[in-house]
Structure formats: C-alpha cells, structure tokens
Structure 1
Amino acid sequence: MMSKRAVLFDFDLTLADSTLGAVECINYALEAMALPHAEPKAIRATIGFSLPATLASLTGLTDPALAQNFSLNFVKRADLRMVELTSVFPDVAQTLDQLKAAGIKTGIVSTKFRYRIETILTRAGLSEVFDVIVGGEDVMRHKPDPEGLVKALDKLGVQSGDSLYVGDHPVDAEAAAVAGIPFAAVLTGAATRNDFEPWPATMFLSSLRELAPLLRL
C-alpha cells in the first residue's frame, strides 16, 4: 500500500480493449504488403509495441521502408475503424473518480496516437478526466524508452518516486524501471505474472478495481 501524487496509465489493454481493432488494422496492413494474416493471439501479444516493433515481432521484418509502409497502412485503416472497435473497460470511470476525489493527478502514456485516445475517451464520456495524455506522436522514442513517462511527469510537476505507472505489458514495466517509477501490472492483457519476472518490484492487479485499495483510497 502506498501514497502517490500521480498515477499514469498505459492505454491499450490497460484502460481499453482494442483487440478487435488491432487485429483488423494489422491484418489490413499485412495484406496490403502481400503478407499473410497474423493470428489474433499473436497480434494481441504485440499490443503496446510501436508499429515497427509490431511488424518485426509478427514477421521478422525490420527494414525501415517496410516498417513505414506497414505503419501507413495500419494508420489508414485505424483512422476508419479503431475507435468503433475499441471499448473502455468498465472499471475505468469508477477508478478515475476515486483518484480525482483523493486529489491524485492522472495521465496516459501510450504508443497509441494521442488524437485517437482522445476520440475514444470522448466517445466513452471521459474526455475531461485525465490531466495529461502523451501519445505516440508526442515523443521521438517509444516505450520501452522512458521519454513519454518523463514528459508526462514534467507536465504534471510530479517526481518519479511520487507517481505510479499502471500497464499490462512488459514493455511498460521496462519503461517504468528506466524512469525510476514504481510499476503495477494489471493482468487484463496478454501478459502473465511470469512475463514480469525481470522486474521483481512489480505489483499486480487483476483489474483496475484493485488500484484504489493499493493507494489507500
């Protein structure tokens, strides 16, 4: 149990289920490159990676030109379909109400584009909830680089030790560790407890409902 001034969240599979959107948009991009479709389970395990890292994980392709082609096709499809195929988890609104009532600042740090996060939140009636959102277009280096986390804390005026980062993927744990931010893994994604063994200080939540008790709220 701990006391914090700010809580930062990853977005996909932490605050919202974007699995259907990711599967459709990734397979659209692969098909546009004359590559075979990927299995939904494999795609779900990449949610949280940058788009070039996603392509590398699914196909082994690392050429920058191919990664750019993949990214452009993904974004083209995502602009049409991602919002309607993403649903915010039911525990999010109550959890954020609890944090706000306690005077705790909140933010999102994600590889997902900020404009898409904002549209999804508006659709869910949560457009004014977060104090800061740092998306993929706001940084030069994506997670596991800590740039996004550092930028969010700077905007909030909060030190790393006074914050908590909540995510679902090992890439989130790695970014938090480099930034010196305590980390809690919410097991709503594809990762299991064993996947976080390299970060032994990780705290675990089965869902966001367990966050308030962790913070003594």
Structure 2
Amino acid sequence: MALTGEDVTGRRLVVFDFDGTLADTVAGICATARTVLRAHGVPERELERVRQIIGPPFPQAFSLVFGLSEDEAAQVTAEYRAIYQDLGLKGWPLYPGMRELLEDLRASGRRLAVASSKRETLVIRAVADNGISDLFDLVLGKTSDEQTSKAQTIARVVSELGLRACDAVMVGDRHHDVDAAAEVGVACVGVTYGGTAAPGELEEAGACAVAASVDELRRVLLG
C-alpha cells in the first residue's frame, strides 16, 4: 500500500469506479474486444494493447488505443456491446472481499456511489446482478456516447447527494479516474489489484493512496 497524499478515512462519501475497481470485468472486456477487433482486421500484435481500452469511454477508447476512425470505432462499439451485454454476471463479478468492504463502509455511516464510464443502464444492471444495489445511494454511468467526461459524472454524484467535493473520495483503477476526480476537487485512491494500470501510473497521476488489494483498500478507507 502506497500512501502518497491526504488521509481520506473521514470522507462521508466513497465513489467507486466499476470496471477493474468494484468488479473483475477485465477478462470479459478484453475477450469481447479481441473478437470484434480481429474481425475488423486489427493485427494480433496490436491486440496486446487491448487492456488499455479499460478506463476511457467507448467508442472513443477504440480510437485512442487502436487508431480507429470515429465511424469504425462506433461500429466496433456496437458489435462489442451486442456480445458483451449477454455475458451476465460471469462478465462482471465483484472482486473477492469487495461485498464485505461495501457492507462495512455502509455500517460505518459512509454513503456509497458508483461513477462509471459504462453505459448507465448496463452499470445499474451489473450492480443489481451482484446483489449490491441496496448498498449504494446512487449509481451513475454514461447516458450517451457523446458524453466523454467522467469528471461530469463524479460531479453529478456529489451534487445529487447534496455534498461537497471535500466530503468525497473517488476509488479507481486508471489515471482517467484520478484525473477526473482532480478536475472536480475530489481526492482519488488508486487500486492495482485489477492489473489495468501501468506501473507508477496512478502515483504519477496524483492518487492520494494506491492499494494493491481489497484489504489494503479497506485500510485506506476505514483506517
């Protein structure tokens, strides 16, 4: 566990990213994306970068990582979603120990929310599939593919719950989460147990702490 900044154990609101943070979605996302990208002629050697699409919003992620045109990225996203949405719970299981952490945060009086770059309907479904909807005050995601700012989603969470940025802490697995939280004045704890961030990525982005396991995340959030 690396502590790089302020103590966030007293924050009233904990806002979680979903992919790679709450749920182990990496295998499902990467396998689905590889299937679709191969069909679009992306060379096998380039598919080694597929984990990098976790974090940025779709369809923009496919342009950012693989250089696809806007139109092709939109087509790849549509084909990806047609497959991915049918994965069900096997595609988005919680990390071991996460349910217990959420329950303990709730029992300590914390308010909990999700701010994801996934489509809002899908992230709400994924949270429900895991049986944890009642642990969250709010679950938000993207409402359209034109919405690219995760900072806006985080700000919306804080605002809708009637709190201030200084009352909240974000938890995420990529620099995109740290950057977006910083944009709206929210401290961010980075997590590496999902294996999505490059070494040093979260520290360099300014995460206030970096947790390598759910147990370490528990210590950062609850002390």
Matched, 1:43 2:50: yes
State whether residues 34 and 50 of structure 2, in contact with CA within 8 Å, keep that contact through their aligned partners in structure 1. Answer: no
SS at 1:51 equivalent = coil
**Residue 158 of structure 2 corresponds to which residue in structure 1?**
153
State whether residues 83 and 116 of structure 1, in contact with CA within 8 Å, keep that contact through their aligned partners in structure 2. Answer: no
- Which residue identity is paired with 1:131? D
Deviation at 1:135, TM superposition (A): 0.9
Matched, 1:206 2:207: no
Deviation at 1:140, TM superposition (A): 4.9
**Residue 85 of structure 2 corresponds to which residue in structure 1?**
79
**Residue 10 of structure 2 corresponds to which residue in structure 1?**
3
SS at 1:84 equivalent = helix
State how 1:59-208 maps to structure 2 within 5 Å. 59-61=66-68, 63-81=69-87, 83-137=89-143, 140-143=146-149, 145-188=150-193, 189-200=195-206, 202-208=208-214
Identity %: 25
Q: 2:37 & 2:198 partners in 1: Cα distance?
A: 27
Q: 1:14 & 1:193 partners in 2: Cα distance?
A: 16
Matched, 1:20 2:27: yes
- Which residue identity is paired with 1:146? A
What root-mean-square deviation, in Å, do the aligned CA atoms of Structure 1 and Structure 2 show? 2.3
Deviation at 1:103, TM superposition (A): 1.1
Deviation track 1:106-125 (CA, whole Å, cap 9, x = no partner) reads 00111112222233223322
Deviation at 1:165, TM superposition (A): 0.1
Say if 1:32 and 1:40 are closer, same or farther in 2 by CA, change over 3 A. closer
Say if 1:216 and 1:119 are closer, same or farther in 2 by CA, change over 3 A. closer
State whether residues 30 and 37 of structure 1, in contact with CA within 8 Å, keep that contact through their aligned partners in structure 2. Answer: no
TM-score (norm 2): 0.85
State whether residues 165 and 182 of structure 1, in contact with CA within 8 Å, keep that contact through their aligned partners in structure 2. Answer: yes
Say if 1:38 and 1:96 are closer, same or farther in 2 by CA, change over 3 A. farther
Deviation at 1:159, TM superposition (A): 0.5
Q: 2:88 & 2:26 partners in 1: Cα distance?
A: 10
Deviation at 1:211, TM superposition (A): 3.4
- Which residue identity is paired with 1:205? A
Q: 1:214 & 1:104 partners in 2: Cα distance?
A: 14
TM-score (norm 1): 0.88
Number of equivalent positions:
215
- Which residue identity is paired with 1:70? V
Say if 1:148 and 1:138 are closer, same or farther in 2 by CA, change over 3 A. farther
